Amino acid sequence: MRVAILPDEAAIGRIGADAVERLYARKPQAVLGLATGSSPLPIYQELIARHRAGRISFARGRAFALDEYVGLSPQHPQSYRQVIRTSIADHVDFPEGAVRGPEGWAEDLDAAAADYDRAIRDAGGVDLQILGIGADGHIAFNEPGGSLASRTHRGFLTAQTIRDNARFFDGDISQVPAQCLTQGIATIMEARSLVLVATGGNKAEAVRQMVEGAVSASWPATVLQFHPDALVLVDEEAAARLDRTDYYREIWDIERN
């Protein structure tokens, strides 16, 4: 796991977009994994700007979203299908139908989950997965206590995640769906590279556990310690509880120069 402690969201956006730009330069048909939430937005904004400047094209690319609520229609503005569209997909040149997400509105959720894993495999797997992290250490919607070997499945949000996500539903927790369809931990771990973004003090404990804690289902993101190519982009607030910051800064400086 490489950790980059960066001064602000603009720097996080640039470093994340650099990884995506390098990938599409090398492999124009690359498969991107897209996360929702506020953390990846600086990367998406930078990618949109670079696309408009003619630096990056997704015209041969494909993308898969991490997760979806169960109980919202695909047209609901807070469905992750819509959030992915408005935050990135509608602003770049992915071909029609190239961006998919789990179908949380399906009648048979288990079948939809199995189809989704199959679709990712048929596309050749995810080349680069962008990730956020929940304050309780969840990735996608893999909440504490779940299997670290899970595939795409129906899951249940914790009370904390429901509270955290209420900000997207006018602060009304009763509007936040309690269930989701999410890529599993094993699905995410199969992506060839991972770029995880965490910003702000309320992520500091989750970041400490993920980077320096013991691997445990109690903090699902700790499993990323087993990934061979995971880059963690954090601001100073999110890095505040890490012990080995001097070492991470030193390594990052060497890597960047």
Ligand X SMILES: N[C@@H]1[C@@H](O)[C@H](O)[C@@H](COP(=O)(O)O)O[C@@H]1O
Q: Which residues are catalytic?
A: 67, 136, 138, 143
Q: Looking at this protein, which amino acid is placed at residue 126?
A: V
Q: CA 64, 86, 69, 210: dihedral to nearest 10 degrees?
A: 60
Interface residue with ligand X among 134, 155, 177, 184 (CB under 6 A) is: 134
Which stretch in 37-45, 46-54, 107-115, 205-213 sits in contact with ligand X by CB under 6 A? Answer: 37-45
Our CB check for ligand X shows the closer of 27 and 76 to be 76
Interface residue with ligand X among 133, 181, 207, 224 (CB under 6 A) is: 133
Which residues, 6+ apart, have CB-to-CB distance to 152 below 8 Å?
Answer: 102, 113, 114, 116, 117, 181, 182, 183, 184, 187
Under rule CB under 6 A, residue 36 binds ligand X: yes
Which stretch in 51-59, 87-95, 129-137, 234-242 sits in contact with ligand X by CB under 6 A? Answer: 129-137
Tell me how many helices (H) and strands (E) the chain has.
8, 10
Interface residue with ligand X among 161, 183, 187, 222 (CB under 6 A) is: 161
Our CB check for ligand X shows the closer of 64 and 141 to be 141
What mask of x and - would describe binding to ligand X in positions 41 to 80, judged by CB under 6 A?
Answer: -------------------------xx-------------
What number of chain residues touch ligand X (CB under 6 A)? Answer: 14
Under rule CB under 6 A, residue 130 binds ligand X: no
Under rule CB under 6 A, residue 158 binds ligand X: no
Closest distance of CB 120 from ligand X, Å: 16
Our CB check for ligand X shows the closer of 35 and 63 to be 35
Closest distance of CB 199 from ligand X, Å: 8
CA–CA gap between residue 131 and residue 198 (Å, rounded): 9
Under rule CB under 6 A, residue 152 binds ligand X: no
Beta strand ranges found along the chain (DSSP E): 2-6, 31-34, 62-65, 67-70, 99-100, 128-131, 153-156, 179-182, 193-198, 230-235
Give the angle 143-147-152 at the CA atoms, nearest 5°: 80
Under rule CB under 6 A, residue 187 binds ligand X: no
Under rule CB under 6 A, residue 87 binds ligand X: no
Q: What sign does the CA torsion over 39, 82, 78, 111 have?
A: negative
Sheet arrangement for strand 2-6? 2-6, 230-235, 193-198, 128-131, 31-34, 62-65, 99-100
